[in-house]
Structure 1
Amino acid sequence: MNTGHTEQLLGEYRPFGSAVQVWTASVPKSYEPELEDRAAELHPDEGAQAARIATRAARAQYVMGRSLARRVLARRLRVAASRVRFGSTAAGRPYLCEPRCPEIDFNLSHSGRLTALALTCEGRVGIDIEETTEKRDFEGIAAGFFSPSEYDRWSTAGAVDRTALWYRTWTRREAFVKATGAGLRDIGGDHHGRGSAWTDIPFEPAPGLAGCLVLLRPSPPFTLREVNPYDR
């Protein structure tokens, strides 16, 4: 895991031949004074959102995630970080609001002491990372949200492989609904078209974590129902 809470490029992947970068940054255990510089980069609306987060650990995750996205996008666009602003869809999916660059799509995930950013200029991307703890309701979640074929593969897997397969399936499902923008309400849905309309790449963001990227096949411009917090 990287130190000093500095963003680093974990890797570049090419599903469907489209470049997707994954960036990560470590997150302190709590909202420490060293995060004040990062918090100062936030837009006032983001700062207000951070202040409403009840726990210091969750607040640190939020600040680091927004800071990671802002710094990476600023470098990509060759602008000052202060010029980067985010909007969100009606379902809460963040997108780049300013500077206007509709071809860029990004997605964030965090778990434990790591935050991750997926960035592409070719399609819609979703990312999920999860700490691989054994303290999950594997059976209950699998029965409630996996497809019948996913559940069968998981429930009949050998003991050594079951936990890894569970996280492989769950991170793929969560990354998919983040790519589509449907949100967690659709995580148990029938996600058809894998391999043709969308593809996924599992990866290990750090020891003890599982991750998955999902990219929707690039298509004609996709219209988002935008909610721009800066047009008030």
Structure 2
Amino acid sequence: MTEHEVLVRWARADDARPGLLGLLDAVERARYEATARPGDKARFLVGCALSRLALGELLGLPPAGVPLRRVCPRCGGPHGKVTLALPEGSPHADVDFSVTHSGEVIGVAVCRDAAVGLDVEDDAVALDVDAAARTALGDAELSALYARPAAERRTAFLRTWTRKEAVLKALGVGLRVPLRGLEVSAPDTAPAVLAWPEQLGRRPEASLADLTVEGAHTAAVAVLAAGGVRTVVHEQH
């Protein structure tokens, strides 16, 4: 079994400050300036800076020199999923990362030699658990959820949701794969993938870890790699 170390860094939108603008490239600065809502601008700025700081540390590059690329697969615009644009043959071609945010919390996970996905959910956000569960949970997961006392269902659902989202982010498929087809272990048991959606056509090896940010935000990180995999998470706040 191969052990993969994941660096997870957390920050808040109120960490935004003018000095971070110097870390952004021209495309990022243009998007920042074009964003109207102050909260969205702050989250975007902190997310970019946090990604560059974490990746720069791993790659041995200054944060502003980390080659990030955003291209929408549909229109070609500069607003797609952010990726590393390393030259062919780079010794760091095996580096992957994932960015997430919810409410005021922003996170980035960085991993070498494996695909990584990170998700966080603000536990205080308004949520219709019943409607969300019908969309995201398979039959067995739904039955297990409603076997719990009503007061426990929100927390249990968010734990399951973040595990699933982390896996789909690591796969790079977003929500194009039905969440109901991806079954994970019960929230109060060790995190694991129990069943994969048929649409994937493959069954990668996955390792998941549950996280809690600031005691109030449910989060999870997933690592996908060939062969057996175990994840070791190092968090920085």
Question: Aligning the two structures, in what range does the TM-score lie when normalised by the shorter sequence?
Answer: 0.7 to 0.9
Out of 35, 38, 57, the position equivalent to 1:53 is 35
Gaps of 5+ in 2: 75-79, 184-191, 195-203, 228-237
1:112 Cα deviation after fit: 1.9
CA-atom RMSD in angstroms:
2.4
Normalized against structure 1, the TM-score is what?
0.78
1:194 Cα deviation after fit: 1.9
**Is 1:204 matched with 2:212?**
yes
Question: Share of identical aligned residues, percent?
Answer: 23
1:134 Cα deviation after fit: 6.0
For the residue of structure 2 that corresponds to 1:19, the secondary structure is: strand
**Is 1:174 matched with 2:165?**
yes
The corresponding residue for 1:194 is: 193
Gaps of 5+ in 1: 1-14, 220-232
Provide, for residues 169-192 of structure 1, a one-character-per-residue CA deviation record: whole Å limited to 9, x for no partner. Answer: 111121111111111232525226
**Is 1:109 matched with 2:95?**
no
Counterpart of 1:43 in structure 2: which amino acid? D
The corresponding residue for 1:10 is: none
The corresponding residue for 2:81 is: 93
1:137 Cα deviation after fit: 1.0
1:36 Cα deviation after fit: 1.6
**8 Å contact from structure 1 (residues 19, 122) kept in 2:** no
| Aligned residue runs from structure 1 range 14-163, under 5 A | 17-28=3-14, 35-88=17-70, 90=73, 92-98=80-86, 100=90, 101-133=92-124, 135-163=126-154
Whose strand proportion is higher, 1 or 2? 2
For the residue of structure 2 that corresponds to 1:128, the secondary structure is: strand
Alignment length (residue pairs): 201
Normalized against structure 2, the TM-score is what?
0.76
Quick one: higher RCO (CA 8 Å, sep 6+), 1 or 2? 2
